[in-house]
Amino acid sequence: MLRLRALLTISFLCMILLVPISDLNAKKKPFKITSLAVSSIGQGNLYAGERVRVRCTWVNDQKIPIKAALYIDNKLVKRREIDVFSAKSWDMVEHYWNALPGEHRFACKIRSTDRRRVKLSKQISKVIPARWPKAAAPDLYVKNVSYKYLSEKRNGKSLVEMSISIGNKGTATFNGKKKVNVDFIASHYYTKEKRADNKSYSIPPLKKGEIKTFKMKIPHMIGPSWYVKITVDKSKLIKELDESNNVWSKTLTFVDKRPIYPDLVVKDFKYAYLSKKVNGKKLVQASAMIKNIGKANYDGKTKLKVDVTVTPKTGKSLIPSSIKGNRTLALPLLRPGAGKWVPIEMPHIPAGTYRVSVWADSRKAVYELNEQNNTLFRDVTFREGNPRPKRPKRTR
């Protein structure tokens, strides 16, 4: 009897001790989030524009199936599902992100996919600065560009003085000890002419926010459609905060307002078949009306070349290709508003309609105010000889 009482007492005590242990085992989570970290891949510090890694790690001793997700500012960026076969005792999920400035919230959420439906989450906040702190340095840039024509001439034509304003918007003074290389390139859109200047200039010291102007001489340029590009410190001799603003480019129209120049244009075109023959075919005399619409006289001292080109309008034509003619001559004095017919002898042109182009001063020997209006394009119907008039009918 005493033995039975002892056994009952021991079993009762065991029941009292075992119930709390089972309850604790029931409340214990099958996995645990060990870390949620945000780190820069490159420099070690978080700054806007850097490549950032967001990583969440956990311990899954029971290797149960789970789903893990990463959130940035409450937006899902990465999800990973792990089944019972690929579950590991330690695992992670990570996402790579281009950091943006400001405060951001990062979260990792994990839940089991079995019957237990256990959920865990962890959140952190990070403030990402706008940019890397940089040491004090100057920052040169081209503020403005202007020009004027000089009385000084090169090859008989006036030089152009380019005034280039360079400023310093950096955080330190430019001491001016090093000569800065300034590249000047100008190209004409139509004529493909180019002007270039690549020299080292001594730019005076520039304090923060200060702007100073220096000048360079460029060969003669006139007319529209000049693409100008100026690069400061192309060889990168100076350490600057920002080197992307060292280039200035713009399409400019150069107008010389100092003196007054002539302006030759082609106003009209006509033709006539000559009695003179070559290989039994009559030659053609083409005539171009050259007129001076400028405000100064054309003195006739400089010879100009006049080109005439006759081109078939369609593939079926009596001429296999273009017929060309030209003449180089010095016209007599042309006052403003005056004109002169320039005769040009050309090979035989069969009757038909052709595209005629006339170009006055194709060599650009004459210094004009505008050299873009020296051409004339016109469709011309060539008729060889004049048709005889029909006799009137007799009336009784």
Where exactly are the structural domains of the chain?
30-128, 140-254, 264-382
Domain 264-382 part of CATH 1.10.287.1260: no
Tell how far CA 265 is from the center of its chain.
36
Equal CATH topology for 30-128 and 140-254: yes
In CATH, the number for domain 140-254 is 2.60.40.10
Residue 8 φ/ψ, nearest 5 degrees: -65, -40
pLDDT at position 23 is: 44
The superfamily in CATH containing domain 30-128 is C2 domain (2.60.40.150)
Question: Model's pTM, two decimal places?
Answer: 0.40
pLDDT at position 259 is: 63
pLDDT at position 265 is: 92
> Per-residue pLDDT for the chain (396 aa), expressed as one digit of tens each?
666 666 677 766 666 555 444 444 445 788 899 999 998 886 567 888 788 899 999 999 888 999 999 999 999 999 999 988 888 888 999 999 888 888 999 999 999 988 878 899 999 999 988 876 667 888 888 888 998 888 787 887 778 898 988 889 888 888 888 777 788 889 988 778 888 887 777 778 888 889 988 888 888 888 778 899 988 888 788 888 777 788 889 998 887 776 677 888 999 999 999 888 888 888 899 999 999 988 888 888 888 889 999 888 765 666 667 888 888 888 888 888 899 999 999 888 888 888 899 998 888 778 777 778 889 999 998 887 644 444 555 555
pLDDT at position 44 is: 64
pLDDT at position 93 is: 92
